[in-house]
Amino acid sequence: MISVGIVGGTGYTGVELLRLLLRHAHVQVSILTSRTEAGKRVADMFPSLRGHTELEFSDLNVEQLKQCDVVFFATPHGVAMQHAEELVAAGTKVIDLAADFRLQNLEQFENWYGMQHVCPTVLKSSVYGLTELNREKIKQAEVIGNPGCYPTTVQLGLAPLLKGQSGLINTQSIIVDAKSGVSGAGRKASLGMIYTENADNFKAYGVAGHRHHPEIVEALENISEQQGQFDQLIFVPHLVPMIRGMLSTIYVDLTEQGQQKDLQALYEDFYKNERFVDVMPANSSPETRSVRGANELRIALYRPQPSKLVILVAQDNLVKGAAGQAVQNMNLMFGIDEATGLEGIGLLP
Burial class (CB in 10 A: 0-12, 13-18, 19+), 22: middle
**What do you get for the CA distance between the two ends of the chain, in Å?**
34
Distance CA 19, CA 7 (A): 15
Site string for its own copies, 127-156 (x = CB under 8 A): ------------------------------
Verify binding: residue 187, its own copies, rule CB under 8 A.
yes
For the CB of residue 141, give the shortest distance to its own copies in the complex, in Å. Answer: 27
Nearest partner of 170 among 251, 236, 249, judged by Cα: 251
Instruction: Please tell me the count of residues contacting its own copies according to CB under 8 A.
Output: 85
Chosen residue from 77, 83, 244, 320 binding its own copies by CB under 8 A = 244
* Shorter beta-carbon distance to its own copies: residue 18 or 119: 18
DSSP 184: G
Phi/psi region, residue 317 (left: phi>0; alpha: psi -120 to 50; beta: rest), is: alpha
Verify binding: residue 40, its own copies, rule CB under 8 A.
no
Distance CA 236, CA 347 (A): 28
Distance CA 42, CA 191 (A): 25
Active-site pick, 49, 144, 149, 233:
149
Chosen residue from 59, 107, 188, 257 binding its own copies by CB under 8 A = 188
For its own copies, which stretch binds (CB under 8 A), given 33-41, 77-85, 274-282, 328-336?
A: 274-282
| 119 noted as active-site residue | no
Chosen residue from 83, 102, 292, 320 binding its own copies by CB under 8 A = 292
Query: Which residues touch 15 (CB under 8 Å, ≥6 apart)?
Result: 9, 42, 46, 48, 49
Distance CA 239, CA 247 (A): 11
Verify binding: residue 208, its own copies, rule CB under 8 A.
yes
* Shorter beta-carbon distance to its own copies: residue 123 or 301: 301
Phi/psi region, residue 283 (left: phi>0; alpha: psi -120 to 50; beta: rest), is: left
Chosen residue from 121, 136, 191, 262 binding its own copies by CB under 8 A = 191
Beta bridge partners of 253: 308
Q: Which residues, 218 to 237, sit near its own copies by CB under 8 A?
A: 232, 234-236
For the CB of residue 116, give the shortest distance to its own copies in the complex, in Å. Answer: 27
Helix axes 106-113, 212-224, angle to 10 degrees: 160
For the CB of residue 337, give the shortest distance to its own copies in the complex, in Å. Answer: 15
Verify binding: residue 287, its own copies, rule CB under 8 A.
yes
Nearest partner of 212 among 236, 192, 196, 232, judged by Cα: 236
* Shorter beta-carbon distance to its own copies: residue 121 or 207: 207
* Shorter beta-carbon distance to its own copies: residue 126 or 288: 288
Chosen residue from 251, 259, 261, 264 binding its own copies by CB under 8 A = 251
* Shorter beta-carbon distance to its own copies: residue 93 or 179: 179
* Catalytic residue ranges: 149
